[in-house]
């Protein structure tokens, strides 16, 4: 009996020894043509180290993404020929591709993000502004590889939109130069169904009402331009030399663009008139419409927007 127990113990010990000596499973073999990011590091160590600190490094470490250990090649393509020849012609460089081709690489991962669904139809895409025009793929930075402080975003946009940035230098402007808000508060740089790539807002409401909520309504007596034409029918959205960022120097001139007893015409012909001014505008008493019509954005109690 004692000899049987000894034999069993020896067999168990042998099994444990064999199991302990079994080598750990090796990482999955790279697909044909791929060399892995560690190979890229040999020549591109500075880029490799920067990439390792960026949000994109998740490609390297998350097996579910399918690029574990070869994050560089997820954008640059299989690198075997490049490593053999050291020729730039043998590797894909997104920075040198046309915008549509470069974007296609980024959208392989980012297409279904809510802020990117309109990218392919955006004016940025149509104007050959690619993702990498604004985003630094290898660099570190929170929330999209760019510095998200308003001042930094505004500087980024202003580098191309110089004519718009000039409007913010006028006496009355939204506080972008001061860093109190940013371009993306109103515009979606990745694309939008609205004009000027404006952020998408509910129904016919202009995005201005997100901040200027006291003008939102709904009012018992609406002022049509506010609800249907948008704030820009009276106000410059970026900046103006006129008070309250108006499109004209005087309030009454803004009002008379509609209230001048002129017929409104569309493709079906004359459809009537906007209520005209019944006042003698030559009189100093009527030089400023808002002295009386104080609720020009809408009123709860007065059809004529007096109060």
Residue ranges per structural domain of the chain: 207-299
Q: What is the pTM of this model?
A: 0.74
More confident call, 240 vs 198? 240
Mean pLDDT of 199-227: 79
Give me the pLDDT at residue 25, please: 45
Q: What is the mean pLDDT of the chain?
A: 80
The C-alpha atoms of residue 98 and residue 132 are separated, in whole angstroms, by 11
Residue 164 has pLDDT above 70, yes or no: yes
Q: Where are the beta strands (DSSP E) in the chain?
A: 172-173, 221-222, 239-240, 263-266, 269-273, 298-299
Give me the pLDDT at residue 201, please: 62
Cis peptide before 202 (omega within 30 of 0): no
CA angle, residues 32, 38, 44, in degrees to nearest 5: 110
More confident call, 15 vs 307? 307
pLDDT range class, residue 163, cuts 50, 70, 90: very high
Q: Exposed e or buried b for every residue in 130-157, given b needs 16+ CB within 10 A?
A: bbbbbbebbeeeeebbebeebeebbebb
The C-alpha atoms of residue 182 and residue 258 are separated, in whole angstroms, by 32
Give me the pLDDT at residue 20, please: 45
Nearest to 212 by CA among 93, 297, 140: 297
Residue 17 has pLDDT above 60, yes or no: no
Give me the pLDDT at residue 126, please: 82
Percent of the chain clearing pLDDT 90 (strictly above): 31
């Amino acid at each position: 009996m004692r000899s049987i127990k000894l034999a069993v113990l020896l067999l168990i010990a042998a099994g444990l020894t064999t199991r302990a000596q079994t080598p750990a499973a090796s990482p999955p073999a790279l697909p044909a043509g791929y060399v892995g990011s560690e190979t890229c590091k040999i020549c591109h160590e500075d880029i490799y180290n920067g990439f390792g600190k960026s949000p994109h490094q998740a490609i390297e470490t998350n097996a579910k993404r399918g690029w574990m250990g070869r994050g560089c090649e997820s954008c640059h393509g299989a690198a075997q020929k490049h490593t053999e020849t050291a020729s730039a012609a043998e590797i894909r460089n997104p920075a040198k591709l046309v915008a549509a081709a470069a974007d296609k690489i980024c959208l392989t991962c980012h297409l279904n993000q809510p802020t990117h669904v309109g990218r392919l139809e955006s004016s940025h895409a149509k104007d050959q502004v690619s993702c990498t025009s604004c985003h630094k793929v290898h660099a570190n930075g929170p929330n999209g590889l760019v510095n998200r402080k308003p001042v930094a975003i505004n500087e980024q946009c202003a580098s191309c939109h110089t004519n718009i940035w000039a409007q913010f230098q006028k006496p009355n402007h939204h506080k972008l130069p001061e860093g109190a808000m940013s371009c993306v508060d109103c515009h979606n740089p990745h694309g939008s169904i609205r004009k000027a790539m404006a952020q998408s807002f509910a129904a016919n409401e202009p995005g201005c009402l997100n901040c200027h909520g006291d003008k939102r309504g709904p009012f018992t007596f609406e002022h049509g331009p506010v609800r249907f034409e948008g704030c820009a029918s009276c106000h410059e959205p970026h900046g103006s030399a006129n008070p309250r960022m108006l499109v004209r120097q005087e309030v009454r001139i803004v009002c008379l663009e509609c209230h001048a007893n002129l017929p409104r015409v569309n493709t079906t012909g004359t459809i009537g008139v906007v209520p005209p001014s019944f006042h003698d505008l030559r009189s100093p008493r009527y030089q400023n419409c808002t002295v009386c019509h104080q609720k020009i954005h809408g009123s709860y109690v007065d059809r004529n927007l007096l109060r």
